[in-house]
Homo-oligomer: A and B are copies of this chain.
Amino acid sequence: MSGNRTIYLPLGGAGEIGMNAYVYGYGKPGEEELILVDLGVTFPDMDTSPGVDLIFPDIAWLAERKDRLKAIFITHAHEDHVGGVGHLWERLGAPVYARAFTANIARRKMDEHGLKPEYVQTASAWPETIEVGPFTVGFLPISHSIPESSALVIDTPDGRFVHTGDFKIDLTPVVGEAFDRALWEDVAKTGVKALICDSTNVFSAHEGRSEATVGPEIERLLSEAKGMVVATTFASNVARLKTLAEAGKRAGRSVVLLGRAMRRMVEAAVETGVLRDFPATVPIEEAGQIPRENLMLIVTGSQGERRAASAQLARGKHHGIEIGDGDLFLFSSKTIPGNERGVIRIINMLSERGVDVVDDSAGRYHVSGHANRPDLEAMQDITDPQMVVPMHGEHRHLREHTKMAQARGRQGVLAVNGTMVDLSGNEPKVVDFVETGRTYLDGSIKVGALDGVVRDRIRMALNGHATVTLVLDEEDEPLGDPWVDLMGLPETGRSRQPLTEVLEESAAAALGRAGKKVLKDDDALEEALRRAVRNGAQDEIGKKPEVTVVVSRLS
């Protein structure tokens, strides 16, 4: 017993899919030296976070211990792994390590926030390693839906920990490194203490399909297309972009990349040598001169995002190009749960324009980037770890993955965000619970998810808003009646009188009932007016608005 321990603490990504941020530590309890794996974002929705621009993990715990933080490692360039780097780096201040393509993307993010690109260091792949404090960390190539994804091999005096990052087992990934079983077996040879493992597709019972199987299907589809072809996929899926572009070329079409995120990804992939022989593309400005049947657009917006190229095209002209009768639109992507409404809206808009839409419902034009259950089992067999720590999943995924590991005779531990696990012993041991949460980027300001700001906005969205103003003179006597202004409420209710007038009467009546003591007391007066207006509205329109009361006193 050295008195030291190796700990694992997810701050984001465990109990959700998104905003990954995993802390590892080694040292004496409470004094561990720390590293962070990934620093991602997640995306807001109207149900829970209206008006919010971006969501980060709450890194307060780590920021308070930044003197012990030795480095940040980024496994790959998906937004849910790298998206927080520019926004949050200043609070952590540790060097960022990533492989070339990921580092290229991370540096662009740092640059957007006026941070020096040198804070991001380019790491080489395994067997090269980086020593930071008590950790020796190596980037072990693994296949996923973006180039240069890596697992991390994290060695501490307690042994070897393998953090898979996002992965699938793909022997023919089109772009980037194929899964190299021999290499992985070699890494595992010395023994793996714990496998910290992607859980996304634990409910998918069939073996995963290779990226290479998509190409022939897309080529077949394109060979039969008569008009213009528009295809959308995730901007970061460089392999898919290549597959699509090559299929377009082979079908005799000029290829246009549309959407900033997509051009940026291809640029980064070419700059870092990850992407070679990508078919020549045509700038959108020249697309107008090309006959429709010889044109293929590859566009952003596979999730129905309102401002992306796919939505713009569905709404009408975009960069002079109009999609219409006889054209084909291909979703070479899956719809992330929660985005269905947006995607369906675009499909219907395209349908109204006479466009034939092909999506992935038949499972032909897209494959997942995550390991399905049999591949997760294979990963356990290959690495043969003493413990399995499921991550990158909602609670249901982590739970199922834990059960699966246990059913196969391994130690498994279900650790959601904030659960600190000691991985030093012969079995995982939960040693602490740390407060975690979400930070919202709201306009240009960061607010805590529980600060109440967004809660108030949701309430106004549900209930509307009423402003009540009242002026009192120097003797606390009302000067005239209370005044009501409304927003997001109907103009008339049950009585057919203007709702403002009805509520002004409610407020005036409350004022009439108020004694001298209430009139002197701002809080009591505001509360009386608020209650009067809410109850008046309940009678008149069946709902209680949020109320702002402003009492002005002459003095």
Is A542 a contact partner of B454 (Cβ separation < 8 A)? no
State which size class the interface on A falls in. Answer: 35 or more
Check: A479 CB closer than 8 A to any chain B CB.
yes
Is A488 a contact partner of B454 (Cβ separation < 8 A)? yes
Contact with B along A11-46 (1 / 0, CB 8 A): 000010000000000000000000000000000011
Is A541 a contact partner of B442 (Cβ separation < 8 A)? yes
Is B463 a contact partner of A51 (Cβ separation < 8 A)? yes
Is A490 a contact partner of B453 (Cβ separation < 8 A)? yes
Contact with B along A447-488 (1 / 0, CB 8 A): 100010110111111111101010100000001100101011
Check: A494 CB closer than 8 A to any chain B CB.
yes
| Measured CA separation A360–B488 after assembly (Å) | 39
Is A465 a contact partner of B493 (Cβ separation < 8 A)? no
Kindly identify, within residues 318 to 348 of chain A, every residue whose CB is under 8 Å from any CB belonging to chain B. Answer: 337-338, 340-341, 344, 347-348
| Measured CA separation A161–B259 after assembly (Å) | 49
Cβ–Cβ < 8 Å partners of A63 in chain B = none
Q: How far is the CB of A325 from chain B (nearest CB, A)?
A: 11
Check: A224 CB closer than 8 A to any chain B CB.
no
Query: A348-B395, A461-B50, A489-B453 are contacts. A444–B552 as well, Cβ < 8 Å?
Result: no
Which listed residue (B45, B347, B351, B457) contacts A464, Cβ 8 A? B457
Query: A460-B465, A487-B456, A488-B456 are contacts. A443–B542 as well, Cβ < 8 Å?
Result: yes
| Measured CA separation A47–B442 after assembly (Å) | 18
Check: A168 CB closer than 8 A to any chain B CB.
no
Cβ–Cβ < 8 Å partners of A357 in chain B = 396
Is A493 a contact partner of B445 (Cβ separation < 8 A)? yes
Is A444 a contact partner of B396 (Cβ separation < 8 A)? no
Main secondary structure of the interface of A (DSSP, over half): mixed
Q: How far is the CB of A329 from chain B (nearest CB, A)?
A: 11
Q: How far is the CB of A224 from chain B (nearest CB, A)?
A: 15
Cβ–Cβ < 8 Å partners of A453 in chain B = 464, 488-490
Check: A203 CB closer than 8 A to any chain B CB.
yes
Cβ–Cβ < 8 Å partners of A464 in chain B = 51, 453, 456-457
Check: A543 CB closer than 8 A to any chain B CB.
yes
| Measured CA separation A425–B344 after assembly (Å) | 35
Cβ–Cβ < 8 Å partners of A442 in chain B = 490, 541-543
Check: A207 CB closer than 8 A to any chain B CB.
no
Q: How far is the CB of A268 from chain B (nearest CB, A)?
A: 27
Query: A471-B471, A479-B554 are contacts. A465–B487 as well, Cβ < 8 Å?
Result: yes
Check: A160 CB closer than 8 A to any chain B CB.
no
Extra A-B contacts (11), CB below 8 Å, given A47-B47, A357-B396, A457-B460: A51-B462, A351-B394, A442-B490, A444-B494, A445-B493, A447-B490, A453-B464, A453-B489, A457-B462, A460-B487, A485-B548
